[in-house]
Structure 1
Amino acid sequence: MPTLKDVAEKAGVTVTTVSRVINNRGYLSEETKYKVKQAMNELHYRPNELARSLSKQVTNTIGIITPHITHPYFAQLISQLENAASKRGFKILLCNSKEDHSREAEYIDLCKSNRAVGIIFCGMILASEQYTQQGIPFVAIECNSPLFASTILCDNYEGGRLAAEHLIACGCKNLVHFSGIIDQEMPGDSRSQAFKDVCQKHGVDFEIVWTRDNTYYSMDYRDSIRQTLLGLPNTDGIFASSDLIAAQVIQVCAEMGKQIPQHIKLVGFDDVALSSLTTPQISTIHQPTKEMAEMAVDSLIRSSSRETVPSKLVLPVSLVKRQSTGW
């Protein structure tokens, strides 16, 4: 098994220089870094991660706690987080809380015991403030809370405004919005407020349908959609707070003999892969998950190094026009 000394001899540098390259410490020329990494690859040398973590008190691991792993939005976000972490030389420890605060607490302890540099929370709120006092930095994506070192958000209000304005520009007069979870305040609720503001501004009829907990957890919105359309038969425009909901709107409308976009125009939110796989393809609000993931990873790494990071970062969204609104 090759040693640090073997790498140093093959690269023509000192053992100290090899150690500095591995741990990314101090200034080193790109030529030196290349020679050391080339020698490591040729010798199939792998640093002893356990020894490194014991010396640094942390590993090159980032904890990620998410409420879902099968929801298209969270699946896409997790993939982007893994990509962003990998680019910075970090691995992820993925934890699925399933919206269970006891699981959340266990996973925080797990990340700490595995010497993670910090934890990124996706679309959820800490059960208790006590965890923020344990010396490990927390960063949140789409969760507006003062408990985190930094919070990364998309411009939810602008997304709701763009969706409503687009539906009205398409001629819709009776709009429905399938919104967030009832009695659970989240940044995404701004989409509903914007939708309401735009509808009132233009004097069009509208209805906001809030989601119940069991519907959100099951990710099956079809019964809610069906009952809403039966109760509001004049609906000609729908803004769904996720592409997952929008895809189920297409299913229900097909069952009820309502054609999209001929009878009902439809706009989703997130711009996950699902939005371009349905028939018709879904017009949606693009949420910049790649950039949000990169900012979250960067903020966490900087925070773990005791650097000052912005407490809140809001990224712009955009409207993607597809077949569900007649484009």
Structure 2
Amino acid sequence: MAVTIKDIAERVGVSVTTISRVLNNRGYLSDKLKKKVQGAMEELNYQPNELARSLSRKKSNVIGLIVPDISHPFFGQLTKHIEYYAYKHGYKLMLCNSLLNKKKEKEYIELLRASQVDGIIMGSHTMKVEDYMAIKLPLVTLDRRISDAIPYVSSDNYKGGALATKLLIRKRCRKIAYLSGSLQLNLLAKQRHDAFMEQVGRQSVDYVVRQTDLNGFKYKEYEALVRELFDEHPDIDGVFASSDLLALQVVRESRRRGKSIPGDLKVIGYDGIQNGGAEELTTIEQPIQEMGKLAVLRLLQQMAGEETPLETILPVRLLERGTT
């Protein structure tokens, strides 16, 4: 039979109301009393009903986070930092992995609302604007501007795209490929492509653009994408990939074909991930820790009813390494 706060009250010799005040940290309570209650809870193995407590307080101290794919190193690192700063401010994290599935994303939002979360950080964006506006909770988006009412946090995607493309042009690449996720999604990351197109157009450099499909991060398909690129355009001597994972696949395929890097081919990635063999990859580093920190801060500002900046755009950095 489950232990209740009535059992705790009887063990300590106080009222149920007093135990409730201790659990919810309400009013003045002596340290001696708190220790007695904690001791009784441990002796009886009492597990508080967090949902019931959140309903009584009208505050759960839980933040929801929806990401497209937690196995992607960028989102894995970002989640780590969001959890760290949320916990630092007294909040737990409820993580949802959407895999860029619209139905799944909607179901997770309903789950988070039913779980009484205090706010949501959205890193997966497949729904329509009106769907996000209907959430009716404090909300911060990552890498997407949805409306003038919803704050977002992003790195400077346009600047990153320009830095990468200019470097390849400076290295005298004559035919440059741009590889990315789906350009049909309404994400700020598309600005990397916009900057690429402006730079190659300005310098009259030959170029190729290839993108993945809409259905998430299918890493096996990266192999086919890169293989087809080299089959159709064997004269490519520069590649700007919109993620480090794509760039690493380019490096692997190039070496399989006997191309030397950076002699025959120069490769630049994007994100600045810290594992998976990316240590030697030239890349555009996103400030992942700062993005996580500010996503939490912007959400806390909303929850406190404070004025919250709509736009938070953070600088990126070019890290030139062995692939250029």
Q: Give the TM-score band, short-chain normalised.
A: 0.7 to 0.9
Amino acid at match of 1:151: Y
C-alpha distance in 1 between matches for 2:260 and 2:310: 45
Q: CA deviation at 1:39?
A: 6.7
C-alpha distance in 1 between matches for 2:124 and 2:271: 13
Contact 1:65 1:122 in 2 (8 A): yes
Q: Show the counterpart of 1:217.
A: 217
Amino acid at match of 1:229: F
The aligned runs of 1:185-200 (5 Å cut-off) are 185-200=186-201
Q: CA deviation at 1:306?
A: 2.0
Task: Spell out, residue by residue over 1:232-258, the C-alpha distance to the aligned partner (whole angstroms, 9 max, x if none).
Answer: 222111100000101111111122111
Q: CA deviation at 1:103?
A: 1.4
C-alpha distance in 1 between matches for 2:132 and 2:163: 37
Q: CA deviation at 1:94?
A: 0.6
Structure 1 stretches lacking a partner, 5+ long: 7-14, 26-34
Q: Show the counterpart of 1:178.
A: 179
Q: Show the counterpart of 2:262.
A: 261
C-alpha distance in 2 between matches for 1:171 and 1:242: 22
RMSD: 3.2
Q: What secondary structure sits across from 2:301 in the alignment?
A: helix
Amino acid at match of 1:143: R
Contact 2:63 2:92 in 1 (8 A): yes
Q: Show the counterpart of 1:292.
A: 291
C-alpha distance in 1 between matches for 2:70 and 2:256: 29
Contact 1:144 1:151 in 2 (8 A): yes
Which aligned runs of 4 or more in structure 1 are off by greater than 4 angstroms?
A: 17-20, 42-52
Structure 2 vs 1, CA of residues 131 and 205 (structure 1 numbering), >3 Å: closer, same or farther? closer
Q: What secondary structure sits across from 1:233 in the alignment?
A: coil
Task: Spell out, residue by residue over 1:249-293, the C-alpha distance to the aligned partner (whole angstroms, 9 max, x if none).
Answer: 111112211121111011000001136x25x81100011111111
TM-score normalised to structure 2 length:
0.83
TM-score normalised to structure 1 length:
0.82
Contact 1:142 1:152 in 2 (8 A): yes
Contact 2:100 2:124 in 1 (8 A): no
Q: Show the counterpart of 1:12.
A: none
Q: CA deviation at 1:196?
A: 1.5
Structure 2 vs 1, CA of residues 47 and 39 (structure 1 numbering), >3 Å: closer, same or farther? farther
Task: Spell out, residue by residue over 1:54-92, the C-alpha distance to the aligned partner (whole angstroms, 9 max, x if none).
Answer: 232120100011111111211111111111211111111
Structure 2 vs 1, CA of residues 303 and 158 (structure 1 numbering), >3 Å: closer, same or farther? same
Contact 1:154 1:288 in 2 (8 A): yes
Contact 2:183 2:190 in 1 (8 A): no
**Greater shift after overlay, 48-57 or 307-316?**
48-57
Aligned residues: 305
> How many percent identity over aligned positions?
33
Q: Show the counterpart of 1:302.
A: 301
Q: Show the counterpart of 2:204.
A: 203
C-alpha distance in 1 between matches for 2:185 and 2:130: 18
Structure 2 stretches lacking a partner, 5+ long: 1-6, 13-18
Q: Show the counterpart of 2:253.
A: 252
Q: Show the counterpart of 2:166.
A: 165
Amino acid at match of 2:302: S
Amino acid at match of 1:121: M
Q: CA deviation at 1:133?
A: 3.2
C-alpha distance in 1 between matches for 2:309 and 2:167: 33
The aligned runs of 1:1-327 (5 Å cut-off) are 22=25, 49-50=50-51, 52-127=53-128, 129-146=130-147, 149-214=150-215, 216-219=216-219, 220-274=221-275, 277-278=277-278, 281-325=280-324
Amino acid at match of 1:228: L
Amino acid at match of 1:149: I
C-alpha distance in 2 between matches for 1:126 and 1:58: 27
Structure 2 vs 1, CA of residues 131 and 207 (structure 1 numbering), >3 Å: closer, same or farther? closer
Structure 2 vs 1, CA of residues 194 and 131 (structure 1 numbering), >3 Å: closer, same or farther? closer
Structure 2 vs 1, CA of residues 89 and 194 (structure 1 numbering), >3 Å: closer, same or farther? same
C-alpha distance in 1 between matches for 2:233 and 2:243: 21
C-alpha distance in 2 between matches for 1:131 and 1:174: 41
Q: CA deviation at 1:158?
A: 0.2
C-alpha distance in 2 between matches for 1:230 and 1:130: 42
Amino acid at match of 1:205: D
